[in-house]
Amino acid sequence: MANRIQQDAVNGFVNDLRATHGENLACVVLYGSSATGNDIELQPDYNLLVALQRITPEDLRLSQAPVREWQRLGHPLPVYFTVEELRDAGDVFPIEFHNMERARIVLHGVDPFASMQLSDVNLRHQTEYELRSKLIQLRRLYVPASNSVEKLCDLMMSSLTTFAGLFAPVLMLHGRTPPAAKPDCVRAVIQLLKLDAEPFERIFALRATDTQPASAVEANELFTSYLAQIERVIEAVDEMPGQA
In Å, how far from its chain's centre is CA 178?
Answer: 13
pLDDT of residue 110: 93
For 58-87, letters b (16+ CB in 10 Å) and e give ebeebbeebbeebeeeebeebebbbbeebe
pTM, to two decimals: 0.78
Asked if the model's pLDDT at residue 208 lies above 70, the reply is yes
pLDDT of residue 5: 62
Counting residues of the chain whose pLDDT is more than 90, the rounded percentage is: 70
What is the average pLDDT score of the chain? Answer: 90
- pLDDT tens string 150-172: 999 999 999 999 999 999 999 99
Residue 216 in contact with residue 152, Cβ under 8 Å? yes
Beta bridge partners of 104: 31
For domain 4-109, the question of CATH label 3.30.420.40 is answered with no
pLDDT of residue 38: 54
Amino acid at 6: Q
- pLDDT tens string 122-141: 899 999 999 999 999 999 99
The mean pLDDT value for 64-88 works out to 92
pLDDT of residue 244: 43
d(CA 219, CA 150): 9
Residue 79 in contact with residue 107, Cβ under 8 Å? no
Question: Of the ranges 32-36, 97-101, 196-200, 204-208, which one carries the lowest mean pLDDT score?
Answer: 32-36
Residues near 64 by Cβ (< 8 Å), separated by ≥ 6? none
Cα distances (angstroms) measured from residue 26 to each of 8, 91, 226: 21, 22, 43
Q: DSSP code of 49?
A: E
Residues near 79 by Cβ (< 8 Å), separated by ≥ 6? 47, 48, 49, 50
